[in-house]
Amino acid sequence: MGMKKNRLERRHLMEAFMKALMYISFVIVAGALGLILWTIISRGLPSLTWDMVSQVPKGGYYMGKEGGILNAIIGSLYLAAGGTLLAILLSLPIALYLKTYLGQSKWGEYVRLSLDVLWGIPSIVYGAFGFALMIAFGMRASLLAGILVLALVELPIMTRAMDEVIRRMPADLEHAALALGSTKFEVALNVVTRQMLPGIVTAILLAFGRGIGDAASVLFTAGYTDRIPTSLMRPTASLPLAVFFQLGSPYPEVRERGYAAALILTIIVLAVSFGARWLSGRLNKYTIK
């Protein structure tokens, strides 16, 4: 019969090869992720006490005595939330403007290119840039400075991620709204944003993830302190720096706490991801598939 598969035929070999390649890639990625999680959990979990998340460092904390890293948890939440909020205020209008008025034009491509370049700049450079500005204005390390620099770090990621989402807006849908006499701005505001909301939420999330995990940009700009910031002008601690400082400690107990801080950071990112996914699932109700 002519319908039996000849397993040695080139096309089938190719298919088997590609399948194996994809499988191996997946195993490598999943394995790396698993290993990272396992390291953080196995070394961090034993030190993850209630004190860790409910106390600020007490005297002797950095030599393994009492206290926790509530200062860094709150600090990081303030920094990342502030930076992300600020970045949204700039990114969404830029992404909508790119789509609505620049489209695939030359200028649109220039803007995209500059954003891609900004994306690639290491965050320590943003930190140094922010620091230079702070010195020029006579500002000291503060929550505000940290938020501003984080917003800059997040801006290119968020804008480009939104842009990629918004670009996939079905033309039919836009035309439907234009046909009713909408201006382009009204289409952007009422239709594009609604249709693309789940994707926009994902873009925000991506940027938040980068913001909360970034150590280099807040190193000079937000500083580090054992106190929870009470105003925008005070310096603040952050989780990535808490990880960094503690892992460099000569005391084993403190290093363990570094892993615990990393675990807390991971849990926060996961919680925000799931929250956002749940939210965008609910927002999904009306989008056109």
Partner 1 sequence: MDAHIQVKNLDAYYNKQQALKNVNIEIPKNQITVIMGPSGCGKTTLLKTFNRFFELTENTKLTGEVLVDGQNIYDKDVDVTEVRKVVGLLAQRPSPLPMSIYDNVVYGMHLHKMKKDRKEYKEAVRHYLEIAGLYEEVKKRMHDPATSLSIGQQQRLCLARGLAVEPEIILGDEPTSALDPISSQNIEARLLELKQQYTTVIVTHTLRQAKRLADYVIYMYLGEVIESGPAKEVFGNPKHERTKQYLEGLF
Any contact of residue 285 with partner 1 (CB under 8 A)?
yes
Query: Residues near 188 by Cβ (< 8 Å), separated by ≥ 6?
Result: 96, 99, 100
Report the nearest approach of partner 1 to the CB of residue 177 (Å): 6
255 vs 63: CA distance, rounded Å: 10
Size of the site for partner 1 (CB under 8 A): 23
Any contact of residue 194 with partner 1 (CB under 8 A)?
yes
Note whether 238 and 222 are within 8 A (CB). Answer: yes
Selected binder of partner 1 within 85, 133, 178, 228 (CB under 8 A): 178
57 vs 59: CA distance, rounded Å: 7
Helices (H), the chain: 10-44, 50-54, 70-97, 106-120, 123-137, 143-167, 171-179, 184-186, 193-195, 197-213, 216-221, 239-247, 252-283
Note whether 178 and 107 are within 8 A (CB). Answer: no
Report the nearest approach of partner 1 to the CB of residue 104 (Å): 8
Residues 85 to 104 in contact with partner 1, rule: CB under 8 A: 103
Report the nearest approach of partner 1 to the CB of residue 152 (Å): 32
Burial (CB count within 10 angstroms: exposed 0-12, middle 13-18, buried 19+), residue 229: buried
Any contact of residue 183 with partner 1 (CB under 8 A)?
yes
Residues 143 to 172 in contact with partner 1, rule: CB under 8 A: 170, 172
φ and ψ at 238, to 5 degrees? -150, 155
Report the nearest approach of partner 1 to the CB of residue 102 (Å): 12
Any contact of residue 107 with partner 1 (CB under 8 A)?
no
Reported residue count of the chain is: 289
Q: Point out which span in 35-43, 58-66, 190-198, 274-282 binds partner 1 (CB under 8 A).
A: 190-198
Q: Point out which span in 18-26, 152-160, 184-192, 263-271 binds partner 1 (CB under 8 A).
A: 184-192
| Nearer to partner 1 among residue 43 and residue 194 (C-beta) | 194
Any contact of residue 182 with partner 1 (CB under 8 A)?
yes
Where do contacts with partner 1 occur on this chain (CB under 8 A)?
Answer: 103, 170, 172-173, 175-183, 186, 190-191, 194-195, 285-289
